[in-house]
Amino acid sequence: MLDHRDRKIVELLQQNADMPVTDIADTVGLSVSACWRRIKNLEETGLIARKVAIVDRRKANVGMTVFVAVRTSRHSMDWLESFRRAISDIPEIVEAYRLTGEMDYLLRLVVPDVEVYDAVYKQLIARLDFTDISSFTGMEELKYTTAVPMNYL
């Protein structure tokens, strides 16, 4: 069971995983050693899955975001596994979801331009048959975060 200090620790680490333990301990009102133990426990229990660097997409020359809605007429485990394999080695596909509703899958791609998106599109259609692929180019990022809300713990 997590208390308010654990939740605050996770909130702080979601904003800056490099934040010194001394600063976190001061913020949540714990000794450094007690705070460190809590962080290690959060990592061991898996709530903190990993720590990563978030790269500025524009500086990495992949400033364009394309959302791709995929529909298929095949709903077998074999097709799903083939799709999973097809998207797994395409680095421009940074997120993929299986959906309910009209569309079966939603992909989020980051690319430098439409020509690179077209190359990814061609890779996909060369690997599998789709009923429909619709793409939507993001024009402006209104909100983006990797932080998840802690108020449900």
Q: Where are the domains positioned within the chain?
A: 4-44, 64-137
Residues 6+ apart with CB under 8 A from 42: 6, 9, 10, 48
Q: 64-137: which CATH topology?
A: Alpha-Beta Plaits (3.30.70)
The model's confidence at residue 23, banded by pLDDT at 50, 70 and 90, is: very high
The per-residue pLDDT for 109 is 98
Report the CATH number of the 4-44 domain: 1.10.10.10
**What average pLDDT does the segment 55-67 reach?**
97
Q: Give 107-143 pLDDT, tens digit per residue.
A: 999 999 999 999 999 999 999 999 999 999 999 999 9
- The reported pLDDT for the residue numbered 74 is 86
Q: Are 107 and 36 in contact (CB under 8 A)?
A: no
Which residue type sits at 87?
A: I
Q: What is this structure's pTM?
A: 0.88
**pLDDT tens string 69-101:** 999 988 899 999 999 999 999 999 999 999 999
Tokens describing residue 11: 């909130």
Nearest alpha carbon to residue 38 among 62, 15, 16, 13: 13
